[in-house]
Structure 1
């Protein structure tokens, strides 16, 4: 998904695999809840999308939207509808819509607005001056910025270019201000030659389940002269803007297979699953989770390796089932990122391997990129309560919930298997938690601790608190099954060679250059101005990846290239066992 250096969009997941380019997506929000799936909703929302034609430059100027909402009652001077102004530090479209008209059965509604800021978002609310009557109709236009490369930002934001437009409900839709669930219908009025997709399918389509406003925010839309792969028999829908450097049909058919495997493993196969792709040269191979689906980015120049794409998608897909613990009011959601991101980072390597969609070599690549980055991290012992304050400021802290979390869950899985003689596993905790969420129940720390205690007793609970305190996690040599064993090696620590606070300034003026560092040897100097942001998280995992900085010195621009590495330290990696009785972990 997005690069954290470009903005703080607290919604989805950070990729741990090194070779995928820029790796941060934002943190995961709640996965869809299906607790109300058998309850007939009293509310129906019909969404009519009417995008402009694709122009000669491949852009779409905007989209006219009409919402028809039945079953929503408004009272005077209370919030009726809302739309996002900002998510994290990323501006959305709530203050950019034009031609707004809100009406009900009695005619036009006079409304006032109220902007409300939460911990990681800002929303605009529309408040009527009288009680509403009957169906509410909302009409407005969302204009798009055209004629420029997509910026470093989360893929929920609207983007026009490469023959179409795309964006999530959060960036496009006004939704009811309450939390009641609705049946959602999508209708398209398309120009000639254009195709319209949503998370529910191609063309006119509708949700099989009733959705909360938060879930409607995570529904995705893409339209224009776009590529598509849609399978009505399985409910799989996918689309892409532009021309990826990989074979999109190969990737999307693989994704369809893995989504079914995830559904079977986690205990719920959704009626629809979607995957969308759009170009982002500045930050390719990153992604955002959606309502049972995801969107990811590519660059035509460097997206030719299918494995790099698959590792990204394997991670993002987990978030369609597994999310963070329920939020605690006043507590930053990053505090529980060890759970959602740790599980996603663990299952992204294990489940595709068990399903035969990753080879043993593929599995080891992902495992060792995670282990190598974790054990060479100089901040490996930072406690969990320091993750939220340092997450956006320090790449070394930012990757800990992913790497530490993945290895912690590998340890829990291994210990449960051994304690139960192979009869139970980590899934014996995760599946009941997901079932409770689908039933509308709370999924919080108390539930995690109770289920953990049931499996591993007080020893397991104590080990969990030690993990939160920053204790180094070291899975057993055979924690990943009989075909792999732990070995020792040495790796160089990630080190930019200057004070990373420099990157949070505007302009990014280098300060605190380290004498004798690779950066100094390459010619960097204090006072140099870095002209372009760059992803750091992926750099940490790749021991041989060079960093090229575009800098300005005394008014002249130049490039400086060096290996961002420091001291060599002892670390752990896994390797294959010569004689292997079984290539898979048990379920």
Structure 2
């Protein structure tokens, strides 16, 4: 709630149009109430740790005394603008921003840039807003000027639909770590209405959704309500949630980024390759992040929450009737595959964490190992307690409440919650996790009479080169004798196109398709990104089945 002592920041967002009257960028008018900044001190900053490309164009500054000279200062962690004299009264900044160019990189970064999509524009505030450097509370007012746009243009912020003013009170992260969308927006519900679910929820996109994403759109709201109920945090107009969909084609992408009370899901022209279960898992992961995940600006991977969110991605869709037991089985098998067939499975945690910032493979394995730790702890504690779901009631929900109240909610709190019941058992499991000793799950799993975990030998994951090569667009460090080399890849090949690596990580039999250029000639190459070496893996099967993973049935 606003108080008289909270200064005001006003943001006016004006879509800029091209010669075809399509949205081509944004013009921002930012007014800061009486900032009282001394000469040569910082007035505003932008976060370059997340988006190093954001530099406002044609920036103009003024205050009650007239034009205000700004000096730009760039550091390793931010870009700052210093004032040439002491400010007097309110300060107004005017500048424009430029979206990601049409000649996008082969693989786009997370959704912290300004994107044009099918006649509209979508981004987080990290990509275009300058804010004061302090962490005090402000009364934030966001408005849109749509007077020059085409009829039917809509504007949405995480905290409500414009173009009229929307107010929120809090630190400047409310502005930067939230999502903005403008253009020919389509949504579920189709239009806003006072007193309807649009007060606290919305699912937004441009153009036509791919059929498999449309299925997620149809169940997203009901699933969100179930997750909110689980975490005992009911949504409201003051506590909304909005999910946004972005088509990044021709750039390669299939990822999600969570912001304050909102999420951006990005896809490309390979979206049809994502199975229904793949997208349901991502939806569950997305909504669990709302209650447990760190801010998007946090650089380090918090492995505990990755493990919890992946664990909940098994339970939530099945338990609430959104998918059948087949989904439960397939998801267990996917997560087992990620963990047991990864070549870094026995690397000590300390060494693994050193690799994570620069290695996609290491990050994937950290998340898989965290899941194995959490689900293994869950299976064990169920046998040590009379509670039906002890790890959820004793561990997960309390952590979420600590986060919501601003208390510490990390690994130490997790230990304090579970050690009183588990004692030495918990400490041993944690020591195994840290040392890189293989985590073995209980074959009977949750006590089901029809299914069990069966030990199977499966080939280790091996792309034949670092997965970063797909981002760099160049084959570097090709492994001699790998299936990639045997299929015809050569050191120095230019990668023009490739299928998604995640599909091969999550699905054992999927092959990798690549188009490379060598000596001016293009050539397609397909190979199975698995080593000849096998690992002792596990798969959940029915007692009368002979194999593990079964492809999911089509959803309608």
Q: Can you list the C-alpha shifts for 1:53-76, whole angstroms capped at 9, x where unaligned? A: 4764x9522111112333644333
What's the counterpart of residue 19 of structure 1?
Answer: none
**2:201 matched to which residue of 1?**
236
Structure 1 residues 544 and 577: CA distance shift in structure 2, 3 A: closer
What displacement does 1:169 show?
0.5
Task: Point out which structure has higher relative CO (alpha carbons under 8 A, 6+ apart).
Answer: 1
Q: Partner residue of 1:314? A: 284
What residue is the counterpart of 2:547 in the other structure?
none
1 CA distance for matches of 2:62 and 2:280? 46
Q: Partner residue of 1:582?
A: none
2:480 equivalent to 1:514 = yes
Aligned partner of 1:348 in structure 2 is 313
Q: Match for 1:169 among 121, 125, 142?
A: 125
Using the TM superposition, give the Cα deviation of residue 343 of structure 1 relative to its aligned residue in structure 2, in angstroms: 1.6
Q: Which residue of 2 aligns with 1:296?
A: 265
Q: What corresponds to 2:341 in structure 1?
A: 376
1:495 aligns with 2:462: yes
Q: CA, structure 1 residues 249+371, in 2 after alignment: closer, same or farther (shift >3 Å)?
A: closer
Tell me the equivalent position of 1:570. Answer: 536
Mark the CA change 1:209 to 1:435 in structure 2 (over 3 Å): closer, same or farther.
Answer: farther
Q: 1:477 to 1:219 in 2, by over 3 A?
A: same
Match of 1:136 in 2: 91
Aligned equivalent of 1:428, options 377, 394, 403: 394
SS for the counterpart of 1:176 is coil
Following the alignment from structure 2 to structure 1, what is the Cα–Cα distance between the partners of residues 62 and 70? Answer: 10
Task: Give the match's secondary structure for 1:77.
Answer: coil
1:365 match: secondary structure: helix
| 2:238 aligned with 1:256 | no
Q: Which stretch shows the higher mean deviation, 241-250 or 319-328?
A: 319-328
Measured after TM superposition, the shift of residue 148 of structure 1 is 4.1
Matched with 2:13 is 49
Question: CA-to-partner distance for each residue in 1:20-75, whole Å, 9 max, x for gaps?
Answer: xxxxxxxxxxxxxxxxx69787133322111024764x952211111233364433
Report SS of the residue matched to 2:208.
coil
- Preserved contact between residue 283 and residue 297 of structure 1 (Cα < 8 Å): no
1:62 aligns with 2:18: no
Q: 2:487, 2:527 within 8 Å by CA — same for their partners in 1?
A: yes
2:145 matches 1:189: yes
Aligned residues: 526
| Distance in structure 1 (CA, Å) of the matches to 2:398 and 2:5 | 26
1:91 aligned counterpart, secondary structure:
coil
Task: Find the residue that maps to 2:226 and give its secondary structure.
Answer: helix
**Is the counterpart of residue 154 in structure 1 residue 118 in structure 2?**
no
Q: Are the counterparts in 2 of residues 502 and 509 from structure 1 also a CA contact under 8 Å?
A: no
SS in 1 for 2:336: helix
- The superposition leaves residues 254-288 of structure 1 with CA deviations (integer Å, 9 ceiling, x where unpaired) of 11112222222123234211111111244343111
Q: Kindly indicate whether the alpha-carbon contact (under 8 Å) linking 1:239 and 1:275 is maintained by their aligned counterparts in 2.
A: yes
Match of 2:59 among 97, 100, 104: 100
Query: Superposed, which structure 2 residues align to 1:458-497 within 5 Å?
Result: 458-480=424-446, 482=448, 484-496=451-463
For normalisation by structure 2, the TM-score amounts to 0.85
Considering only aligned residues, what root-mean-square deviation do their CA atoms show, in Å? Answer: 3.1
Does 2:325 correspond to 1:360? Answer: yes
Report the secondary structure of 2:87's partner residue.
coil
CA 1:500–1:79: 2 relative to 1, 3 Å: same
**Is residue 458–residue 537 contact of structure 2 (8 Å, CA) maintained in 1?**
yes
In 2, distance between residues paired with 1:472 and 1:71?
58
Aligned to 2:252: 283
Aligned to 2:553: none
Separation of aligned partners in 2, 1:358 and 1:126? 51
- Please give the alpha-carbon distance, in whole angstroms, between the structure 1 residues aligned to 2:384 and 2:220: 34
Distance 1:99 1:149, change over 3 A: closer
Q: State the alpha-carbon separation in 1 of the partners of residues 14 and 72 from structure 2.
A: 25
**C-alpha displacement at 1:220, in angstroms?**
0.5
Match runs of 1:483-562 below 5 Å: 484-496=451-463, 498-500=464-466, 503=469, 508-515=474-481, 517-532=482-497, 535-562=500-527
